Amino acid sequence: MEIATETERKYDVPETFELPELAGVAGITGVHGAETHDLDATYFDTEDLRLMRNRRTLRRRSGGHDAGWHLKTPGDGSGRTEHRVSGHEGDAVPDELLPLVRGIVRQQPLAPVCRLRTHRVETPLRDADGRTLALVAQDRVNAESDDGESAWQEIEVELVDGDVAVLDAVERALLDAGATPAAGPSKVSRALAGRLAAAERAAKTKAKGKSKDKGKINPVLRYAREQRDAIIGHDPAARQGDPDAVHKMRVATRRLRSTLKTYRRWFPETGVGDELRWLAGMLGAVRDPQVLEGKLLAGLDESGPEFEPVAGRIRAALEHRVEKGRDELAEALDSDRYLSLLDAVDALVDNPGHDGGDPSRRTRKVLKKADDELDAAIAGGVDEELHEARKSYKRARYAVEVIQPEHGAPAKQLVKALTALQDGLGAHQDSTIAREVLREIGPDSFHFGVLYGRQEQVGKETLREVPALVRASRRKKVRRWLVKT
């Protein structure tokens, strides 16, 4: 599978439009060597256009230089990402592309929804060295779908070796010549405009939860939906084992589970929380050994050659856990259990039980509980109680995040303080886990004993830092706003 970033702009043009003179614009010296292509593309989606509603398009196209299957997904903001698979005749979506959309389409079948036939004249825009800065495609489009038939002309300008300044300069020339920005983000969205609008209205109607305050979405529901969207958004890369995606998907899963627990009055009773714990566990089986490996191997390069065998054993043991976790995670994300969980989350956050009122009261209670648990844990000096207090502060931090947009900078400051406290307690817990893992991997080695002692010292040092973090999180100016709400 080939993956490329596509940066382009589209314009509608009248029947009589002629391409203006572009030589001399933004370093363009040559406008020649045009090629003609006849493209035939069939677009696939679910009955309710889930891919298009999530800014994705899937097509099988013949003609041109890149015939085959194309999946376009949102990029990093500067363009869109296109996944290409050559060949594969027929309507069966290639196995390489299915995992990239599974979290969106779930168990719904993908079927043809539109056919576009395009006559394209593609002209390269070159600089003095012969580099192709951009391609200008003049398209005559004929569309067929259940919405009927339609035809129009448009121009696409796609960057090749140029920069955004080339796009800007070409755009000014095209607009001066009579072009206008395209009516839609893609050809298929234009062809299916009526059906897409109906599908989006149906989705918005389904997503309830607006408060009486001028239709404003309740902060609890907004936050829950943001975490749902994050889980789905990081799904494709997490399936491929990307560490950052696995981490962010796990965080979103934990945030959502915590929100359902903290603000349970907003949601009907379901088993979604337990299923989210299962999903977080599957993601953690990949993420935790990666983090632990970094902590245990940090500084070993400077500890002398006698530690090389130790580093090798640690690396081998933890990377084995990571690979095992990745295999199990891939299987889990392809399972009916996971897809059913996503459906259940949709139903829960889009159709809440009722409006539980102002969430600030619950936030205060959760934070007070965390304070009490930590005070008792510090007095008792029991690692398990410190770990439970850490989890309570994580839950409290997520609760403050829910209402942060409504309370601005003061709430943001409290989130920051709680995050620092949670991280401090987490560093202590990490040292405890690291010692347990060292006992499992190498109890027979003096050098493992040295590492064990280092982690024991880390635990003591991080615990000494906790009181200052507690005081910082409980300062009046940090919490005053929450007491007043």
What are 406-437's pLDDT values in tens digits?
A: 999 999 999 999 999 999 999 888 888 988 88
According to DSSP, residue 26 is labeled T
Alpha carbon dihedral 61, 62, 66, 71, in 10-degree steps, equals 10
pLDDT average, residue stretch 238-257: 95
Those residues with Cβ within 8 angstroms of residue 253's Cβ, 6 or more apart along the chain or in another chain: 227, 231, 276, 279, 280, 283
Q: pLDDT at residue 52 above 60?
A: yes
- Neighbour-count burial of 400, counting CB atoms closer than 10 A to its CB (0-12 exposed, 13-18 middle, 19+ buried): buried
**Percentage of the chain modeled with pLDDT above 90:** 68
Alpha carbon dihedral 239, 348, 76, 193, in 10-degree steps, equals 110
Name the pLDDT band for 443 (thresholds 50, 70, 90): low
Q: Which helix (H) or strand (E) holds 116?
A: strand 111-126
The full 3-state SS of 138-168, as one line of letters, equals EEEEEEEECCEEEEEEEEEEEECCCCHHHHH
Q: What is the phi/psi pair of residue 132, to 5°?
A: -85, 110
Q: Which amino acid is present at 440? A: E
pLDDT average, residue stretch 275-289: 96
Those residues with Cβ within 8 angstroms of residue 459's Cβ, 6 or more apart along the chain or in another chain: 428, 431, 432, 435
pLDDT digits (tens, 9 = 90+) for 145-173: 988 999 999 999 999 999 999 999 999 99
pLDDT digits (tens, 9 = 90+) for 455-470: 888 888 888 999 999 9
- Neighbour-count burial of 250, counting CB atoms closer than 10 A to its CB (0-12 exposed, 13-18 middle, 19+ buried): buried
**Which one, of 249, 278, 248, 260, lies nearest residue 223 by Cα?**
260
Q: What is the DSSP string of 197-257?
A: HHHHHHHHHH---B-TTTTPBPHHHHHHHHHHHHHHHHHHHHHTT-HHHHHHHHHHHHHHH
Length of the chain: 485
Name the pLDDT band for 278 (thresholds 50, 70, 90): very high
Those residues with Cβ within 8 angstroms of residue 235's Cβ, 6 or more apart along the chain or in another chain: 102, 103, 249, 333
Give the pLDDT confidence score for residue 301 in this predicted structure: 64
- Neighbour-count burial of 178, counting CB atoms closer than 10 A to its CB (0-12 exposed, 13-18 middle, 19+ buried): middle
**What's the rounded Cα separation, in Å, for the pair 365 and 265?**
14
Q: State how far Cα 401 lies from the chain centre.
A: 18
**What's the rounded Cα separation, in Å, for the pair 328 and 457?**
34
Give the pLDDT confidence score for residue 265 in this predicted structure: 87
**What's the rounded Cα separation, in Å, for the pair 437 and 432?**
9
**What's the rounded Cα separation, in Å, for the pair 136 and 200?**
32
Strand 35-45 with 57-62, pairing: antiparallel
**What's the rounded Cα separation, in Å, for the pair 391 and 370?**
8
Q: pLDDT at residue 112 above 80?
A: yes
Residue 367 near residue 395 (C-beta atoms within 8 A): no
SS3 of 123, please? Answer: strand
Give the pLDDT confidence score for residue 215 in this predicted structure: 53
Q: pLDDT at residue 206 above 80?
A: no
- Give the lowest-confidence range in 13-27, 110-124, 200-214, 371-385: 200-214
Angle in degrees, CA 133, 137, 139, rounded to 5: 170
Q: Report the predicted TM-score, pTM, of the whole model to 2 decimal places.
A: 0.86
Q: pLDDT at residue 442 above 80?
A: no
Q: pLDDT at residue 105 above 80?
A: yes
